[in-house]
């Protein structure tokens, strides 16, 4: 299957700082990428849909200014958690669909964010 790479896999930061997480499609182009958040023993919650060359679409309740998404190319989307607080600590996972695919989603390895 297609490969989606996320970096960093783990990050620890101080409260008030910003953290950037990268999501790359390694062997395919993705016009659309999705960012999810997962709390312990919970399912994945869709945060936003990242669209190449245009603004991201955020789900209800997700702060746009808090979670900045940029999809500057067909292989890279970034999520920046701005002014991070301890409650932002979570597991963030991105996914992407292969262009002209039947809709199968491929996921990155996830990024564990811990805000002290």
Partner 1 sequence: KQEVTQIPAALSVPEGENLVLNCSFTDSAIYNLQWFRQDPGKGLTSLLLIQSSQREQTSGRLNASLDKSSGRSTLYIAASQPGDSATYLCAVTGANSKLTFGKGITLSVRP
Which residues lie near partner 1 (CB under 8 A)?
1, 6, 32, 34, 42-44, 46, 49, 91, 93, 95, 102-110, 112
Nearer to partner 1, 45 or 82 (CB): 45
Least distance (Å) from partner 1 to the CB of residue 54?
15
Least distance (Å) from partner 1 to the CB of residue 7?
12
Least distance (Å) from partner 1 to the CB of residue 105?
6
**Cα dist. 21→41, 63, 100 in Å?**
22, 17, 26
**Cα–Cα distance for residue pair 116/111, rounded to 1 Å:** 16
Nearer to partner 1, 11 or 105 (CB): 105
Nearer to partner 1, 44 or 68 (CB): 44
**Cα–Cα distance for residue pair 88/109, rounded to 1 Å:** 19
**Cα dist. 5→25, 47, 63, 89, 94 in Å?**
6, 18, 25, 20, 9
Nearer to partner 1, 100 or 102 (CB): 102
Q: Are strands 10-13 and 111-115 parallel, antiparallel or unpaired?
A: parallel
């Amino acid at each position: 299957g297609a490969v989606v790479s996320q970096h960093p896999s783990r990050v620890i930061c101080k409260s008030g700082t910003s953290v950037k997480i990268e999501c790359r499609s390694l062997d395919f182009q993705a016009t659309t990428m999705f960012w999810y958040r997962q709390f312990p023993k919970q399912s994945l919650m869709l945060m936003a849909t990242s669209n190449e060359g245009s603004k991201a679409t955020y789900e209800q309740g997700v702060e746009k200014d808090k979670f900045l998404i940029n999809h500057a190319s067909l292989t890279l989307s970034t999520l920046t958690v701005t002014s991070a607080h301890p409650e932002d600590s979570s597991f963030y996972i991105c996914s992407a669909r292969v262009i002209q695919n039947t809709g199968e989603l491929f996921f990155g390895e996830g990024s564990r964010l811990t805000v002290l």
